[in-house]
Structure 1
Amino acid sequence: MKTSSIPASPMPVGLGKNIRTIHRGARRIASPLLLLIILMQLTTIALYYFGPIDYKNIKYEVAGWILYYLFMLLLGSFFARNFYLKNKSDLPGEFIARRRKFVLHSFLFSMLFILPTFYGRVGGFHLAGSLGEQYAMAAAYSAANQSIVEYVRMFFSVYLFGFFPTYLYFYDKLSPKLKKIGLVVSVLNLLLAVFTGVNKYLFDYALIGIAIFMLKYAIKRKKNYAKIFFSACILGVVFSVLLYFFALGQASREGSPSIKGIDPKMDSVAAYNLDDGLFLMGYSALTSYLTQGYRIFDMSLDEKFVWTYGIGNSTFLSRQADKVLGTNIGDLTYPARLEYRGTDRYINWSTFYLWWVSDLGYLGVGILTFLAGFLFRISENTVFKTSDHEALIIYAYLTIGFFYLSANNQLFQSGETAVGFFYLMIKIMLTKKISILPSGRRAEQIHAKPCIA
């Protein structure tokens, strides 16, 4: 992708608008959402050392590596602060039509896949007595019945993942009919998460909601503080409910170390367990959830480096390679080689960083986080400048990935997110180029259409 400097020109914003706007937020030193993510990651590393989970024989080098990775992430964002992605064709009419077509298709495919996905993952409307039992039942069904629907979803992954961020971001530009359809589809997707007993899907929706809320807030020149306060309260209530469900799930999940507060795999003892009440147990369980990845990263410092050919970072990619080539690359990764200590690569978190260490080494992961920070900021700037739906989806993908830095290489562990992300990245590299953001603070409406049908 080549770099070019361009003058200010009419660019499309929203589904049916063409607005020239160079927002002052695009040239900020740092992205507000990225600063929030980094603050959260710093909190998790503090909890690892000083929280309610007593990990035995902690190595303080872990903090050094994590701080290095977070610094490189922020540095990448800083270097991208003056750039955005510009369509090579740069035809506003075609751009708006393409965006409108994508949003309509994302709604359509999301509706079509709800029932097949539900039956493929759960097998029917079976409600267990608790979230833990619900998760176990759904996991057992999925293991015994390999659904072809999951493979088909990979081909539509960009539309399926892109539905929620585009629905939220372009909500004000949608017709009343699409607003109602989008709400129904969102609720059904959340119910699917409840029936499978997987907290992650619920949290992903909440994280994308926060990301879009902060993005739209930064773009607006005139702030409606009453509306902002109300939206923040709604998000607070949603997160409180999610945390409550998380605590219930941990308390009812058979074999959960949170119940007694002792985890032999992690060589740790929690300050609180179920006998201390659901709230305190939930606090310890959430801390364990957020910090156990650092524990396995800690363990990895005792092991030798074994290269995994650039695909060890993804269980999806390594599994496919092992099936086709008859290799055992998946067993060479750090999380796999640490299983002799009682951990499980498919159950226990081991951080985003450690999965990539298997391919890039400890120092090399810093270069990766620099590039990730650069991509995140340039995607954010592109949404500021043009409301590009593809940049918005990359922004949402990376938001999920960054919030799970202390946990897992979230984007590349499932085929659906890995295929969708790689496809979109390849498309962006072929159809867009890096351009310099014009300076100035101006917004002039050129043309408007109220909504799409």
Structure 2
Amino acid sequence: MNKKIMPFINIYSLFTIFYYFFGRYDWEIPSYSKLFLWIIILLVSLNMGYYFKYEFTFKKKLNNGKVIEEREDSRVLKTDYYKLFVISCLSIIIFQVIWVVTVLGEFNVINIFESLGSNYYERLDFGKDESALGMQIRTLFWGLTLFAYPIGFVFFNSLKLSGKILLFVTILIDMIAALNMGISKNIGDIVIIYILSVILKKYVHSPSKKKEETNKKKILIVILLFLTMFGAIQQSRDETKGMSSQNQLFSNFSTVREDTFFDVMTFNNVGLVSTIDRMGVYVSHGYTGLAFSLETSFQNTYGLGFSRALMDYARQYLGIELMTKTYMSQIEASYGWPNGMYWSTAYVWFASATSFLFLPLAMFFFGYILSKVEKRFSVYKDVYSLAFLAQLFIQMVYLPANAQIFQSRSALIGIITLSVIYVITGRKIRR
């Protein structure tokens, strides 16, 4: 099997590293060389796990006629899969409307761009919304929502017309919900899963070279559209806070470079440079938190430090306060890097559970799991491994940012749900 996912992640990771070291900000951190060394160690560990040679669980079944037949029919979406797709789409629509109405009191579809910034900060001030019954239901069943986009994008050609319309409506409602809240994450996740679907379609179809070039153009167009929307959302937030630029956000931790590599490459196009800087800083500023954390001692969080939701549960049900022991809280106290406002990379979250000593091993394991799930989908084209793979891919993209798929309670319950389903369905496949 040709590896599809990790080459894309490597290119993306190298961009975030390059931008951090040579982008708009000259960061004031303890050691650039120490930070760079650790980033490389962790990226290499991830790749070692991904490319680790092992006996594939389902290898013996590749010579079984039934399995070969399933592979040949993989372009046809099974009835059960289609039903799951419909349920998942409807779940997104219902749960996102509940979310917005619970926090803001209404689901606005008209003047959403006028209140992007104010709604974002209103959401932050709202506090805990898990107490509302609708939100509790949303949290418990969030796992249902994680099938719609992977199935819809990868098996788009197999969907009925009604299914394609439902997918479009789902995306529209999800995007409107995100804009109501003044956030870009939901939209970003849709883009990330779309990119993954283009990568994975090679397992389902055998595209011609012309089709592959078309797919690359589609990815580029989708990314550009997202960057444009992302820039508008960030600008709206800045204007709400009375900030003229992002420079004011990190003034205590960096100085601004007047000229960068990206200025030269874009011929000093102000609009384009501004968009690149916003996105570049967004995906790379977490390395500053990592640099500070490398100078901080480990405090035991009993393996729960990688998830804010898990630590919330520990405080709620066991009366144990663990957040203050994480690297994120420690560097806020020592260096002033705000926990929850600025990122510290997913590496720091995972290290809060394992310590930096065992972090390379954890990243090796993460890469191994990613490869195993990808291999299963490449053989069986099952939507359970597909949905699980989509969430793992999102986390890979968010490695320079945070442990995205484990943070909120709904996200945590969702990934646990997918993990359990993945294991159970895997046993059925082996039988």
TM-score, normalized by length of structure 1?
0.80
> Over residues 232-262 of structure 1, what are the superposed CA-to-partner deviations in whole Å (9 max), with x where a residue is unaligned?
3333222212212222233332448771624
320, 326, 333: which one aligns with 1:327? 320
Q: Quick check: 2:19–2:284 contact (8 Å CA) kept in 1? A: yes
The answer for unaligned runs of 5 or more in structure 1 is 1-26, 437-453
Partner in structure 2 of residue 166 of structure 1: 151
Q: How does 1:13-412 map to 2 (within 5 A)?
A: 27-28=1-2, 31-59=3-31, 60-79=33-52, 83=56, 96=78, 98-124=80-106, 125=108, 127=112, 129=114, 131-141=116-126, 147-221=132-206, 223-253=207-237, 254-255=240-241, 259=245, 261-264=247-250, 267-271=253-257, 277-340=270-333, 341-412=335-406
Q: 2:82, 2:57 → 1: CA distance?
A: 21
Q: Which amino acid is 1:304 matched to?
A: S
Alpha-carbon distance change, 278 to 149 in structure 1, aligned in 2, over 3 angstroms:
farther
Runs of at least 5 residues in structure 2 that lack an aligned partner in the other structure: 260-267
Shift of the 434–156 alpha-carbon distance from structure 1 to 2, 3 Å rule, reads closer
Output one character per residue of 1:126-180: Cα deviation in whole Å (capped at 9) or x when no partner.
6363532342244345668954333212222221121111111222222221121
Relative to structure 1, is the Cα distance of residues 362 and 154 closer, same or farther in structure 2, using a 3 angstrom cutoff? Answer: same
Contact 2:19 2:280 in 1 (8 A): yes
Q: Is the 8 A contact 2:395 2:405 kept in 1?
A: yes
CA 1:356–1:46: 2 relative to 1, 3 Å: same
Kindly tell me the number of residue pairs found equivalent between the two proteins.
404
CA RMSD of aligned residues (A): 3.1
Offset at residue 82 of structure 1 (A): 5.8
Which one is further off, 419-428 or 120-129?
120-129
Q: Deviations over 1:246-295 (max 9, x none)?
A: 2223333244877162445651123369x994433333332222222110
Give the superposition deviation at 1:213: 0.7
1:38-79 deviation per Cα after TM superposition (whole angstroms, max 9, x unaligned):
221122122222222111245111111111111121111112
Structure 1, 425-434 or 246-255: larger mean CA deviation: 425-434
- 1:413 is matched with 407
Aligned mates of 1:262, 1:128 — CA distance in 2: 23
Bigger proportion of residues as helix = 2
Kept after mapping to 2: 8 A contact 1:80/1:378 = no
Shift of 1:207: 0.6
My pick for the range that moved more, 150-159 or 123-132, is 123-132
Amino acid at match of 1:250: Q
Shifted more, 243-252 versus 355-364: the winner is 243-252
1:367 CA displacement: 1.5
Contact 2:326 2:352 in 1 (8 A): yes
Report Cα offsets for 1:15-44 as digits up to 9, x if no partner.
xxxxxxxxxxxx22xx22211112211221
Segment of structure 1 superposing worse, 399-408 or 292-301:
292-301
SS in structure 1 at match of 2:255: strand
Higher relative contact order structure (alpha carbons within 8 Å, sequence separation ≥ 6): 1
User: Cα gap change, 1:257/1:80 in structure 2, threshold over 3 Å: closer, same or farther?
Assistant: farther
Moved more, 191-200 or 117-126: 117-126
- The 5 A counterparts of 1:422-433 are 422-433=416-427
Cα distance in 1 for partners of 2:48, 2:173 equals 39
Aligned equivalents of 2:292, 2:243: Cα separation in 1: 19
Contact kept, 8 Å, 1:311 with 1:359, in 2: the verdict is yes
Kept after mapping to 2: 8 A contact 1:401/1:409: yes
TM-score of the superposition, structure 2-length normalised?
Answer: 0.84
SS of 1:373's partner is helix
Whether the 8 Å contact between 1:262 and 1:270 is mirrored in structure 2 is no
Tell me the distance in 2 between the aligned counterparts of 1:346 and 1:324: 22
Asked if the contact 2:115/2:180 (under 8 Å) is kept, the reply is no
- Distance (whole Å) between structure 1 residues aligned to residue 103 and residue 395 of structure 2: 23
Once residues 426 and 72 of structure 1 are traced to their aligned partners in structure 2, the CA distance between those partners, rounded to angstroms, is 26
Indicate the SS of the match to 2:337. Answer: coil
